[in-house]
Structure 1
Amino acid sequence: MKPLESGDPIRLGPYRILAVLGEGGMGKVYVGQDGEGHAAAVKVLHPHLAHDPNLSQRFVREAQMARAVGGGAVARVLDAQTEGGRPWIAAEFLTGPTLSDAVRSHGPLDEPTVRALAASLAGALRDIHAAGLVHRDLKPANIVLTATGPRVIDFGIARPEHGLTLTATGQVPVTPGYGAPEQVLGQRVGPSADVFSLGAVLVYAATGQHAYEGSHVAAVQYEVVHGEPRLDRVPPALRPLIGPLLARDPAARPLPDVIAHSFAPPRGAERAWRRGAIAQDITTREHSLHRLTTVPGGVAPRSVSRRRLLTGLAVGGSVLAVGGGSAAWWSVANRAGPFDVPPAVPVPAAAVLDAKKGDYVLGETPEPLWSISSAVAADAPAPLPVRDVVIVGAPKGGIAARSVVDGTVRWTAAEAVATNRYLSLSDRLVAAADAEGTLVTFVASTGRPKWTSPADAAWLLAADDEAVYVVTKDRRVRSIGRSEGRIRWTVSVDADLGKDAASRGLAAQGRLVVTATDGTVLALDTADGRKAWERREQSDDGRAAVAVSGRTLCVTGKNLSVVDVVDGKELWKAENPKPSNGTPVFWGPPTIHGDHLYATVVTLPVRLDLRTGRGTDWNFGGLLECDPPSPLVVQGNGMWSVTVNKTEGGINVVDLSSENRPPWVFRVIKNPIRYWITGDANRVFLMDGTTLAALPVF
């Protein structure tokens, strides 16, 4: 996002020009606003190209192509002027990041979201092809993620299905690695070329890496024509679906309708664009556009905060401020406000060890990636991985962020009280509470303080895209808005929330689920705090635990039940075993990974199908027993759990790729009373007393 410069138009047709969105070799794209206040993206040819008849003809064709496509999966052309002067096209303004920006800022999409993306883009290709067109340049930068779903943009090189390539052989007008082999070779291009591009897009969405790579453009194009796509990082369930899209033979690629059916997004996957970090990104841009287009002349009065005008429309952009009727531009970096949040940093994933490559010796315990004694306070809660740091309670008070790569301290916040717990806010901020109950937030990667709120918080419960939820000092539940730091609602609940951060929570699908110390599990509507449903006596000792995926909520304690998080309706319930020694049945903390649910029952870890409850346990002749309160972690090809006795403990790793291999046991826990494990980005973090370590995965 940039200010207008000398030579930029003030008005094009009915559109008043407010700012520059971007610039390419053929022209510029501006933010425009018509007389009714509607925003548009206005694309204009460069002045020195405007009189080139070939380019003007191509510009005319772009408008015609985009207008010919029905359906809601492409950006609609609103108006165009291609006669004389500077030709321009006004298209629907899409508020949201491109797929390339979203993956770069927030990391690869999870499997359900990739499925939803594939189905939506397949529908867009169906509409494009039904209009007799071939897009010819489908790539992550030409896909915008909006609140209503992905939308395809840029028909600059689209052609009728019967049309040949626009350029001579070898002059490929598409991004290397996304154009089909027949495009690279300058051959006739049909609809199946778009299918190939879709396959490359989905590889990028699922992995953050390109399907074809090389040291230079020619090397990439050679791989497209003669090599094989890199699918090794694609989730196993998606590889057989994406692979056929990247077939060298155009006739072997599936049709868009077949693609949409085969990816079969799970129920609710279409809401992926309305929750999580991407949804927050979309909302920020929508608010920024609204502010930009609702002030007279596109200029903000003094009462409008400088920090919000344009930052949501472009990362690293600028904000517009005014004085005496004239506009001035200010650097976001220097004048960012407390609610201007930087994007999440990339996740530095660790390598997965392979015994066949000599990374470790079977039967021997590999060394930790790093281990630091006296790194954690004696009363600190569980470590919290947030992208490139892991948050812990600091030994001398406050909280500390340590690098996930080597364990070194990146930043500390002495005012935060670790025992009041800490939360990740969309992997961008860390939220905590100080001794006075004030909610404080910090940029996760740098520790830079951001917004605060006088929340009177005794401890933190959970957070979603809209709010942070806390237990107040008088034991009520309170919601604090993330966009303004104000208290949205406060309610009393019919359950014992305990003390010393005893109750826990999670927020999903418009519900705040709280596990109280009296064994009650209740769900509150995040909009107003009203009770949506409850389950009484889920646990005798307050150790009920929950995990969620989409609308599916797993609740453990005296039993294991899977319910709909929105209405509390029970979907299925696991059968409790009957221990021969009369030991009371207890299900440990649940973990959801992909389509499976992991939990420990009594001392036995089990894996269940999340939809049906069917599953397997791992006993290995009695070799594997787990501490019932132990969390289960899935990282690499392993499922990790903890077993302890009175003097020591170890970590068991079950090889999920081979049910016949006995578990590995790592005798690494020296404090059997106080431990925790959690995992992220191919690392398992172990808190062992006051020691913090990162273990490699396999």
Structure 2
Amino acid sequence: MGAIAPLEAGDPERVGRYRIVGRLGRGGMGQVYLGRSPGGRAVAVKVVRAELAEDPDFRRRFVREVEAARRVTGFFTAAVVDADPEGMPPWLATEYVPGMSLDAAVAAYGAWQESSVLALGAALAEALEAVHGADVVHRDLKPSNVLLAADGPRLIDFGISLASEATKLTLTGAIVGTPGFMSPEQLAGDTVGAASDVFALGAVLAYAATGSGPFGGGSAQALNYRVVHEEPDLTGLPPELADVVARCLAKDPGQRPTAPHLVTELGRASQAGQAGQADGLSTEADWLPEPVTAEITRKQHEPLSAPTGQTTAEVVPPTIGATVSVLGPPAAEPPQPESTPGGKGRVFTRGRVMAGLAVTAVLAAIVTATLLPGSKSGDKQTEKPQQTEKPHAPALRQLWSSGQGTDLPPVVKDGTVYVGDRDRGVYALDADTGDQLWENDQTTDIVSSATVSDGVVSFSTGGFPNADTSRVYALDADTGRRLWKFKPNDLVTSAPVMAGGTAYFYSNSLATRSSTLYALDAETGEKRWSRVLSLGAALAFDDGVVYYGGHTVRGSYLHALDADTGKELWKVHISADILPDPLTSLTVAHGVIHAVGEDGILSARDADNGDLLWKYRTGLSDFSDSKPPVVADGVVYISGNSETDSGYGQVFAVNAKDGKMLWKYQMPRVSSPPTVTAGTVYVSTEAGALYLLDAESGDSLGQARLANDHEPEVTVADGVAYFDGGDGRLRAAKITR
């Protein structure tokens, strides 16, 4: 279940007879705590939210659900050990186990081999047999409600399960469950019985075997439609497993196998795949893929208490749903590759002793993000020794996730997240809750992240080679209503620069090797002025001046133009080794222009006249994913990549006054420019990790896993990471240490 987060102000010291020692997570009904019984037993205590506790209908339903949950017993099900449904507030306690959820394991280590999936299916079918034997329907079987432990999986979260005789207590028209795992009859509002859980089991097994649900991804509406009207996609499933899953996913509940039948069938199939292995007692996790076994073994040895000042990551689910799950595993040290799924399966028999581990709470838990130290170099390219003491690993506590992903970095401003997606268009989400505020889907083929200024969102579309469809758009930041669109003469490849009520951008003509620089009224789109210049490379605005870098056949130039009129204030010739890269923006701060050149030279020029102040040679050659340089507290921070066979990334901190290197840090290839806030530098890597460095010393503060085998588009703002985890979901996670 991962490390435990410390208690916060307002958390209870005791609930019933249990001393509260830490936080495990939060669900739709309330907060889940780690508690200790008077005899020292660890339990997960779920405390109902105050507003629900005051609802008489909810209280009546909760009483019945607790009574139903107490009737459920079985090796692979959650056991309620104590409860006070009449308390103020109501609560229940279940046994606690240090494991990880199925969705976390698949997201972290990939799809499972057939033997492990068959063993998982046999155990979950036995869990459903126990649930249904108590006249209970789970109603929300999904990957995040399956906890993996060394001695077998546990079916958890009966918080929304209803006793069969109490199904009429649900609200009229309400659908309880998770898109992609709910049965057709559940979606249609028909009678929901044991067969509905079998349907969900089939979807869970498909997910474990392929890494995705059998009805794809997308919005809840799209998923629900496919579940009711389309056949599942079982591509990639082994034939025997595909046959079982297909029967579980039958549209007609009467055509699905029963849980007892699946116990026999999957148990026999699992045992057949384990020829030569001894059956009997086992407390080993050799039924799991090997990387999952290693992670669970590590968790078993973690202390059952919350270290002071150390928090943990609430789980980031890879599937649609409200339940939290594990964000990611400990990462390997660079440059070693991550582990691949593997390991032998083990048959679960009905008489096996379940030793040492018990079931988790109603909510799948949390896990700390992991530490991955790198090497830090001193001046003159000399290497400093690595830190001997590893700091506490940073953690990501998920705030929300949205089913609307992005292939461009999101922009966060004034409590709103603005996202541009090449296929979906532009949409805005509430930064605190993830609720969609608006969507403009009439603009696709977006090639730039949005820029936001003075209530206007602007972006460009139709990148290379689609010059004919190239446009610049402006939307109302509050409503998403289109204010204007502008078609330039040629190709727009970057976002407009918005400043002082004006949108500045340039379009490139490769035929004439020239560019047109435009200034448009940000509210109306009316052209204020335009100017033909050398082929565009970079653009910035500061204090009434537009700074523009461009190429010509005779060399390259840096221009300073009056922002109101377009009149040229000065122009300086710059050598190729300090030319701003075409994909790298200029940064202007405190009267100095900073840019990175094609050969990795960071330069500083006087913003009043273009005079060179200093330059620093980084030794790197690829800064295409690092734009622009960041200036904070008298330091310039940049990141880039080596193009050698053993390509790596580096982050540099350079004194803004004299260009002398303060520190540099080596890591896997970077995928974003640094973000600097509150004394910490954040940089993401192509491998899907977010590195944290001390802004003053460059020392590693650890790294948090964002995604695996996916280069996330990440934005860090006010200590929150906004990113697409590679599964079509945009996430917001609080970064803590």
Q: Same fold (TM over 0.5)?
A: no
Aligning the two structures, in what range does the TM-score lie when normalised by the shorter sequence?
A: 0.3 to 0.5
Q: Which has the higher contact order (CA 8 A, sep 6+)?
A: 2
